[in-house]
Amino acid sequence: MEYTDTRDNAVRVNLKDAVLSGMNPATGGLYIPVRIPKLSPALLERCSAPSFRDIAFEIAKLYCSDVIPDTDLQAIIADCYPFNTPVVPVDPVTYVLELFHGPTCAFKDFGARFMARLMAYFNRSEKEPLHILVATSGDTGSAVGSAFSGVDGIGVTILYPKGKISPLQEKQLSTFTGNVRALAVEGTFDDCQRLVKTAFTDKKLRKTFRLSSANSINIARLLPQSFYYVYAVLSVKCRSLHDNKIENPAIIAVVPSGNFGNLTSGLIAKEMGAPIAGFVAATNSNKTVPDWIASGRYEPRRSVPTLSNAMDVGAPSNHERITAMYTDDEVKKILAAYWTDDNGTLEGIKCCHERTGYIIDPHGAVGWQAWYDIRKGAMLKLMSGFPNKTENPGLTPNIPSWAQNVLDNKAVGILLETAHPAKFGETVKSAIGREPPMPDRLEKLLHLPDNSVPMKNDYREFSQWLKKNLQ
């Protein structure tokens, strides 16, 4: 399996080089497979859904078999995923894919744990340590820190925007020790991401240190996130007729979206053959991608803080991968784009709880609000010639290829619930009047000391800190 560069399609590297370098230091481009392999018909046509770990292994083999023996790969998968991925029906045509059962209670555990073990496997014969730089708007950093904690030969530096994530998320980041460090940056997530990307293109720094990334700019984060898309759609395909009497439904993945890595993983799953009819890209007030879908112009901007802070991204990196995979017209056929503000987020939490009894986190609530509005008239309005104005929260005025299935009641939605609601207890309480129960693994963090390092939004200061502290 070979990988190319989003900015130079003549580039060819193997999986090891793509993973350990993170991105192409010569161009700043992101790695994508030259060819996306296809899932076997035997897997896709099974009458009962395979286990998550079986699916993970079958997909991982497509990308890793030329560099990792099957026995080693099976051991990596087993070590990565000792937790489950429940697909929970909350109404007849809506399923919630719970991605918060890992150690840090967020979907980032799926990609981070696989990536950490892949990097450790590839790094075994290296004499010099590998240094991971990662920017986070909430959950990525804690998942990466947890995944790499105690791994020999690899150090991790996490950059997060000070005061712009939830207190519990900050506690998850600031309490690491040993080979994992956290920098509290005076700025936004985009500033953190800019510092990291500048470091990767700093030739002098890269001559001094072996650097890699653990953001969704690293292909090793994206590929394993495709595992749960395939698992979820096969599970829903097997049970849908029983749940809602819809035979062969159009399955729509509703994806809370910030840096758009999770959505890109879903697109990869679709290209592998997973029976996904389309996607809803659900965003908050950082609506760079919905505006691009609406206007055809991609205009990055500074991010603004919202209640769904992990999606506070004004310049999503994976837009570059999406446009390398599809033309603008193809994107509009696959995607419906939707955005809402903080009031809509709170309404989503409240609406979901009142109608289903399910407690959803602020990011999932953006997805719930999108899917609920689409079903309750927004898509009909759009197809009837009354599009929403792009400056107002709601559905972007493009009609995806699967839109008629919604009107004909032949579509079901899988809503990706990306984090445990207890990580945003105050926000949830303001919407439904009570906080969700907190898992023990989060409760224990509250009593640990803060070890984060303050950092200005200044590349010179950041690079000097790296030179002083990385060994």
Tokens 């309490």 belong to which residue?
175
* pLDDT for the residue numbered 162: 93
Q: Please state the pTM of the whole predicted model.
A: 0.90
Could you list the mean pLDDT of each consecutive 10-residue stretch along the chain, which spans 471 residues?
Answer: 93 92 88 95 83 95 93 96 96 97 93 92 88 85 90 92 88 92 93 92 91 83 95 94 92 95 96 97 96 94 92 92 95 97 98 98 98 97 94 95 97 97 95 95 89 96 94 68
What structural domains does the chain harbor? 220-437 (3.40.50.1100)
Question: How many Å apart are CA 471 and CA 341, to the nearest integer?
Answer: 44
Tokens 């940056």 belong to which residue?
185
Question: Would you give the DSSP letter of residue 391?
Answer: T
* pLDDT for the residue numbered 208: 92
Dihedral (CA of 272, 273, 278, 280) sign: negative
Question: Apex CA 326: angle with CA 324 and CA 331, to 5°?
Answer: 130
Question: How many Å apart are CA 137 and CA 143, to the nearest integer?
Answer: 12
Residue 332's alpha-carbon distances to 50, 152, 326, in angstroms, are 32, 45, 10
* pLDDT for the residue numbered 399: 96
Burial class (CB in 10 A: 0-12, 13-18, 19+), 48: exposed
Q: Give every CB contact of residue 242 below 8 A, 6+ residues apart in sequence.
A: none
